[in-house]
Amino acid sequence: NAGVTQTPKFRILKIGQSMTLQCTQDMNHNYMYWYRQDPGMGLKLIYYSVGAGITDKGEVPNGYNVSRSTTEDFPLRLELAAPSQTSVYFCASSTGTSGGNTGELFFGEGSRLTVL
Amino acid sequence: DQQVKQNSPSLSVQEGRISILNCDYTNSMFDYFLWYKKYPAEGPTFLISISSIKDKNEDGRFTVFLNKSAKHLSLHIVPSQPGDSAVYFCAALETLTNAGKSTFGDGTTLTVKP
């Protein structure tokens, strides 16, 4: 199993450009999440999904969009890049917390985005 | 308002000694707590967890203690090894919301000196 795979690993954007961060998981997890981590800070939840076709905002959703057309894929879209979106982005998946599951998150390796 | 706080940004210990990492939370609805370990240029990986119905959980060299009345948990690593040098994140969630959304602290960088 590859687990959670994110692409690209690094990207430099100019202000106003758009891009999509790709995330795919092969563990058949229903729950998927996008977090961002700024230097010296913890992970902030951007968007999450509890299953295909269902998405919802997290703590810091402004400037981002997501879709979940399949169980495996959860892409994150930045529409008009701003310097404040310079960060490391982590995609994660889990089995959730129902049925005795612990909500343990499985993370990708991260995508480092710089907006200049 | 930060709901999960790790007040020590860094901790340095000697190899073989105990490392104690602390975490405080404010949301009384949190009922499950997890610790993650993160190496540079990698994603966080799950280390150990504890349910609010317990006050201790042990896994090898790692033990997590939960004090619900104080809204405080700690991770003990005994004995510490140089390979334990990493950033440790405390996370908390409300299992009743059933969405598995975790709230993270800012992390503590542990350095274990040989």
What is the tens place of the pLDDT at every residue in B12-22? 999 999 999 99
What integer pLDDT is reported at residue B100 of this predicted model?
78
Q: Considering only CB atoms, which chain A residues are within 8 Å of B97? A: 97
Which one of A37, A55, A57 makes the best mutation probe of the B interface by having the most chain B beta carbons within 10 Å? A37
Look up residue A36 and give its two tokens.
């961002």
What is the tens place of the pLDDT at every residue in A4-60? 999 999 999 999 999 999 999 999 999 999 999 998 888 999 999 999 999 999 999
Q: How far is B50 from B33, CA to CA, in rounded Å?
A: 5
Tokens 């119905």, located at residue: B53
Look up residue B14 and give its two tokens.
């000697």
Work out whether strand B56-59 and strand B62-67 pair parallel, antiparallel, or are unpaired: antiparallel
Tokens 């991770």, located at residue: B75
Calculate mean pLDDT across residues B67-94: 97
Q: How far is A66 from B85, CA to CA, in rounded Å?
A: 34
Which one of B87, B104, B109 makes the best mutation probe of the A interface by having the most chain A beta carbons within 10 Å? B104
* Mean per-residue pLDDT of chain A: 94
Given B4, B32, B106, which is nearest A97 (Cβ)? B32
Distance from CA of A116 to the nearest CA of B (A): 21
Calculate mean pLDDT across residues B80-87: 97
What is the tens place of the pLDDT at every residue in B13-63? 999 999 999 999 999 999 999 999 999 999 999 999 999 999 999 999 999
Closest CA to A45 of A107, A2, A112, A116: A107
Cα separations in angstroms, A101 against B28, B42, B50, B103: 20, 24, 12, 17
Closest CA to B108 of B51, B37, B13, B55: B37
Alpha carbons within 13 A on the beta-carbon side of A67: 7
Beta bridge partners of B104: B91
pLDDT band at B97 (very low <50, low <70, confident <90, very high): confident
Q: How far is A111 from A41, CA to CA, in rounded Å?
A: 16
Q: How far is B14 from B112, CA to CA, in rounded Å?
A: 6
What integer pLDDT is reported at residue A61 of this predicted model?
97
DSSP state of B78: S
Q: How far is B70 from A72, CA to CA, in rounded Å?
A: 40
Say what percent of chain A tops pLDDT 70: 100
Q: Between B78 and A95, where is the model more confident? A: B78
Q: How far is A87 from A84, CA to CA, in rounded Å?
A: 8
The number of beta carbons lying within 10 Å of the beta carbon of residue A43 is 30
The verdict on a CB contact (< 8 Å) between A103 and B89 is no
A60, burial (CB in 10 Å: exposed 0-12, middle 13-18, buried 19+): middle
Contact call for residues A97 and A81 (beta carbons, < 8 A): no
pLDDT band at B98 (very low <50, low <70, confident <90, very high): low
What integer pLDDT is reported at residue B60 of this predicted model?
97
Look up residue A39 and give its two tokens.
């230097």
pLDDT band at A101 (very low <50, low <70, confident <90, very high): confident
Please tell me if residue B44 touches chain A, with a CB cutoff of 8 Å: yes
